[in-house]
Amino acid sequence: MLIGFGWVFWNLNYQFSLSSIDREIQNFGNPNLNRRHGANHYDQFAKALKQILGEDADKMFIMIVRNERDMTIYQTPNWPDGLNLEIPQLGGLSTQKSTPLRGGAQSKGQSLPLKNPQFITISDGSATWRVGVMGNRFNTLVLGLNIQEFHSGLEKMKRWYLGALFTVLGFTAIGSWLLANRALRPITVLTETLEGITAKGLSQRISTGIHAHEFQRLISVFNDMMCRLEKSYLQAVRFSSNASHELRTPLAVLQGELEQLLHKALPDSEGQRIAGLMLEEVQRMKTVIEKLLLLSRADTGDLRVERSRIDLSQSVSNLAEDIVILAPHLKVETKITEHIEAFADSHLLHQVFQNLVANAIKYNRIDGMICIYLIREKGVIEMRIGNTGPCIPVMEQDRIFDRFYRGSSSNEIGLDGMGLGLSLCREILRAHGGDLSLERSDHDRTVFLIKLKSTENDS
């Protein structure tokens, strides 16, 4: 809009200024067309212009006169050589009469009628001229004024306007950005808060006193929603924790009773078989309850990590030996760097390794392989546990760490489980300042990557 306005303003100013120059040329020329004049008259006219315009007259003014036979009867000596002017044929007579020269004689007191004038702009390479072509039925008068300074002035005005325009546009853009940023600040804060919400960050709220009135209701609704969500979540966490605690005691009693019953039962009897099955189910329930208890503690930030310096290389080597015993039908490949130590909770780390190895055994081919690699690089321990089992679909790879989620392969193979193992492993490793991720899963191999810091100072 500003550019369009500037173009219109500049164009109107140019046309208005050019019309003023045309009138000035016409005012110079018309009085010399009041009657039929000879060359001497135009020579006197040129001398008069020099007296009026001073020393710069030759640079400012040019003139040529032609008679009715299109022959030049007068031409100013300073007519530019490089100025190629094709004098147009003038049209019919206008209603305008020539203005008598001051003190000049007229034929019988009457002025000759004038032809319609024409104006053109031409250049000789060094200067720009505005040329007016006027005449009566006897003579054609061509007057030119140097408008180089006029064009220079317009160019300066154009540069000034463009500079002012871009300055205004710059300030307008900055002002609009600041205004929009200020107006949308509550939305930005709300978005950042939503992005930062985790299970441990449900206590976040947005202050209602520092934002525009239009957003007060939105912020109030968001804060109320967060209050309800936090309350519900804490109730669920407390229930999970309390239920796990309450179930541990009766399960321990039940386990003890079943162990005694199993001990007293006759060998190979039906009672021994039933007691053994029940004892396995109780053990499985205890495992699930222990996982739920650890997860609830991780959610509330109460997961206790009793750190000590452990020889991780030796622990992983022992783990590989256990795999050979537990799954003799599988091939085990290891690449373990010696003397890698970690400052961590050995019991919790052992639980992580056991879960991942158990999955590697369960989700594997009959003649498959398990690979365990352990390296240390720049103070970071990287451990990879992989197997040659079925590929995890791409659409499921982001969900395998969700609690109670069991992939399609688990259902197809018919394996039991609650879908808590990977989630618990990740929480334990994050409590140590590390992480667990799925590095790859394709038709050839599925690999999980464990990262930990390697020394006490790093932890």
Q: How confident is the model at residue 399 (pLDDT cuts 50, 70, 90)?
A: confident
Range name among 91-105, 372-386, 414-428 with the lowest pLDDT average = 91-105
Please check the confidence at residue 238 and state whether its pLDDT lies above 90: no
pLDDT tens per residue, range 357-367: 988 998 888 88
* Strand 369-377 with 331-336, pairing: parallel
Which residues have a Cβ under 8 Å from the Cβ of 136 and sit 6 or more positions away? Answer: 33, 36, 98, 112, 113, 114, 115
Alpha-carbon distances, residue 84 vs 67, 150, 341 (angstroms): 19, 21, 95
User: What percent of the chain clears pLDDT 70, i.e. is strictly above it?
Assistant: 82
More reliable by pLDDT, 422 or 58: 422
More reliable by pLDDT, 206 or 281: 281
Average pLDDT, the chain: 80
pTM (predicted TM-score): 0.50
Mean pLDDT of 322-339: 90
pLDDT attached to residue 110? 60
More reliable by pLDDT, 457 or 119: 119
Mean pLDDT of 450-455: 82
More reliable by pLDDT, 98 or 112: 112
Range name among 35-44, 261-270, 404-413 with the lowest pLDDT average = 404-413
Which residues have a Cβ under 8 Å from the Cβ of 329 and sit 6 or more positions away? Answer: 366, 367
Please check the confidence at residue 93 and state whether its pLDDT lies above 90: no
Please check the confidence at residue 449 and state whether its pLDDT lies above 90: yes
Mean pLDDT of 74-89: 80
How many Å from the N-terminal Cα to the C-terminal Cα in the chain? 61
Residue 32: how many other CB atoms lie within 10 Å:
23
**C-beta of residue 130 within 8 angstroms of C-beta of residue 144:** yes
Helix (H), strand (E) at residue 254: helix 216-264
pLDDT attached to residue 96? 57
Please check the confidence at residue 447 and state whether its pLDDT lies above 60: yes
Spatial separation of the C-alpha atoms in residues 96 and 116, rounded to whole Å = 9
Please check the confidence at residue 279 and state whether its pLDDT lies above 70: yes
Phi, psi of 48 (to 5 degrees): -65, -40
Phi, psi of 62 (to 5 degrees): -135, 155
> Best-predicted range by mean pLDDT among 28-37, 177-186, 229-238?
28-37
Please name each of the domains of the chain with its CATH number.
Answer: 2-154 (no CATH), 213-300 (1.10.287.130), 308-453 (3.30.565.10)
**C-beta of residue 331 within 8 angstroms of C-beta of residue 369:** yes
pLDDT tens per residue, range 135-159: 888 888 898 888 888 878 777 877 8
pLDDT tens per residue, range 192-201: 766 766 655 6
